[in-house]
Amino acid sequence: MEFSIKALSPEKKKTGCLVLGVWQGAALTRGAQIADKASGGHIGGVLRHGDLSGRSGSTLLLHSVPGIAAERVLLVGLGEQKEFGEAAFREAIRTAASGLRNLGARDATLAFADLKVARRALPWNVRHAVTGIRDAFYRFDSLKTQKKPPVPPLAAVTLAVIGAPATMQAERALREASATADGIDFAKTLGNLPPNICTPAYLAEEAKKLAREFKLGYEVLEQRDMEKLGMGALLAVTRGSRQPPKLIVLKYMGGPKKDKPIVYVGKGITFDTGGISLKPGAEMDEMKFDMSGAGSVLGTMRALAGMRAPLNAIALIPTCENMPDGNATRPGDIVTTMSGQTVEILNTDAEGRLILCDALTYAERFEPDVVIDVATLTGACVIALGHVASGLFSNDVKLCNEISAASDDAWDRVWAMPLWEDYQEQLRSNFADMANIGGRPAGSITAACYLARFAKKLRWAHLDVAGTAWKSGREKGSTGRPVPLLTRFALRHAGVK
């Protein structure tokens, strides 16, 4: 889907569908007023019949509107004009996109993307219009033999700006958003793929393909390399699996060579049964999404490389399966991590932190500027923050604030949680330096506290995306989060507005 941004008068555009905004109370937006005038008052007349109130979420499709070059006109309710903020704008984009999905139009022109959103400027609207529409048009049906009736291929979308020329920043926002949407789609597809296809080797192959397409540095560490490095925690998790583990390294060097890289570490458990501490059977299929951290880190690399972002970033992905087996790690086993610290594995289902801790130690060799790990780490985080915000933990206040600001900008929300020393004692072990679990209270915090013990030499943050990386129920599927956040963070951190 190609996006463009153009200064134009909406009635003149030859397009499959012209999308106009209508405020609550059936008042026309500026673009709609211009179109209404050209139509000789036709649009206003339809509204006076009471067919569209302008309530947010409502739509009305008109055909053969006089004086309008477009084949159809889709009117979209925007809600109250004086309350038009970020949430209302994003909702209007979603409504427009789902309206467009049900049409035969091959191209569309959106005439409300330049409306003033409180606190925001045009580039923000552009980014959210593009990613919102791309999100609505994402499909995962490669494994269905009966494809749904072909979704009309909406090949091109024009964002019309009315009255003023499109700015350079808006053009750049458009390219940034298209690349971000490619990264989001990529992460979604990796997440949605079944665990018999999306194995550690498959993730490594996909990373290699990205490396070829975008000329990235690529390296993969095999089990024998992990053994040489002493990654006892990562190796403990993979023991029960027939699938060989991988540690994938992907390097994008778009900035000055001397600039220290951002290192993104993604949890890549391609299936989490819990191991010997076996999970209950209900909904266990969803543990295929336990590689969502890895998927989002790969998606972010794709986004950054696709837009040629002026910065250096490295993806580091420890990936394996967590399976029960005669050779699997037992509760009570003690292992030595790459850092030299010993861990008593009291619960084999707390495996994410085990693969991440060795990856964090390995990250030191890249002399990173900052390290951010992304993991579907704890069910407790879902209890704390639900499916709205990802949990944010950091050992650096400035980094924490930077991530929060990027998250607000990307509307990919996080909430900062404490990492106080007071919680560390929950990880006490009688037999090793620490246990890998801290009991039921504050489960997402003690998981982060465990990781913090391996990040002492780093400016580090941890994102627990257990509640945000995928949806359950009827809408089951990967969300692609937090690709929007990680991409925006990297750009802002590099000084791109």
Active-site residues, by number, are: 279, 353
Closest distance between ligand BES and the C-beta of residue 348, in Å? 8
443, interface contact from Mn ion, ligand BES, Zn ion, none, CB < 5-8 Å by kind: ligand BES
Closest distance between Zn ion and the C-beta of residue 269, in Å? 5
Of 349, 358, 373, 412, the one binding Mn ion by CB under 5 A: 349
Closest distance between ligand BES and the C-beta of residue 278, in Å? 11
Q: Which is nearer to ligand BES, 380 or 410 (CB)?
A: 380
Closest distance between ligand BES and the C-beta of residue 350, in Å? 4
One-letter-per-residue 3-state SS of the chain: CEEEEEECCHHHCCCCEEEEEEECCCEECHHHHHHHHHCCCHHHHHHHCCCCCCCCCCEEEEECCCCCCCCEEEEEECCCHHHCCHHHHHHHHHHHHHHHHCCCCCEEEECCCCCCCCCCCHHHHHHHHHHHHHHHHCCCCCCCCCCCCCCCCCCEEEEEECCCCCCHHHHHHHHHHHHHHHHHHHHHHHHHCCCCCCCHHHHHHHHHHHHHHHCCEEEEECHHHHHHHCCHHHHHHHCCCCCCCEEEEEEEECCCCCCCCEEEEECEEEEECCCCCCCCCCCHHHHHHHHHHHHHHHHHHHHHHHCCCCCEEEEEEEEEEECCCCCCCCCCEEEECCCCCEEEECCCCCCHHHHHHHHHHHHHHHCCCEEEEEECCCHHHHHHHCCCCEEEEECCHHHHHHHHHHHHHHCCCEEECCCCHHHHHHHCCCCCCEECCCCCCCHHHHHHHHHHCCCCCCCEEEEECCCCCEECHHHCEECCCCHHHHHHHHHHHCCCC
Backbone torsion region of residue 85, taken as left when φ is above 0, otherwise alpha when ψ lies between -120 and 50, otherwise beta: beta
Binding to Mn ion by residue 333, rule CB under 5 A?
Answer: no
Stretch that binds Mn ion, among 188-196, 260-268, 343-351, 477-485 (CB under 5 A): 343-351
Q: Which is nearer to ligand BES, 312 or 436 (CB)?
A: 436
Of 107, 272, 358, 369, the one binding Mn ion by CB under 5 A: 272
For residue 484, what are the β-bridge partners? Answer: none
Asked whether the bond before 245 is cis by omega within 30 degrees of 0, the reply is no
Number of amino acids touching Mn ion (CB under 5 A): 3
Q: Which is nearer to ligand BES, 24 or 468 (CB)?
A: 468
Closest distance between ligand BES and the C-beta of residue 450, in Å? 10
240, interface contact from Mn ion, Zn ion, ligand BES, none, CB < 5-8 Å by kind: none
Stretch that binds Mn ion, among 97-105, 174-182, 196-204, 349-357 (CB under 5 A): 349-357
Residues that bind Zn ion (CB under 5 A): 269, 272, 290, 352
Q: Which is nearer to Mn ion, 351 or 358 (CB)?
A: 351
Residues that bind ligand BES (CB under 6 A): 272, 290, 347, 349-352, 376-380, 382, 437, 443, 466
Binding to Mn ion by residue 373, rule CB under 5 A?
Answer: no
437, interface contact from ligand BES, Zn ion, Mn ion, none, CB < 5-8 Å by kind: ligand BES
> How far is residue 352 CA from its own chain's centroid?
19
Report the residue closest to Mn ion, judged by CB: 349
Report the residue closest to Zn ion, judged by CB: 272
Q: Which is nearer to ligand BES, 34 or 377 (CB)?
A: 377
Closest distance between ligand BES and the C-beta of residue 384, in Å? 11
Closest distance between Zn ion and the C-beta of residue 426, in Å? 19
Backbone torsion region of residue 40, taken as left when φ is above 0, otherwise alpha when ψ lies between -120 and 50, otherwise beta: left
Closest distance between ligand BES and the C-beta of residue 388, in Å? 15
Q: Which is nearer to Mn ion, 303 or 377 (CB)?
A: 377
How much is the CA Rg of the chain, to the nearest whole Å?
Answer: 24
Q: Which is nearer to Mn ion, 234 or 307 (CB)?
A: 234
Binding to Mn ion by residue 321, rule CB under 5 A?
Answer: no
Binding to Mn ion by residue 135, rule CB under 5 A?
Answer: no
Q: Which is nearer to Zn ion, 134 or 239 (CB)?
A: 239
| Residues at the site binding Mn ion, with contacts judged by CB under 5 A | 272, 349, 351
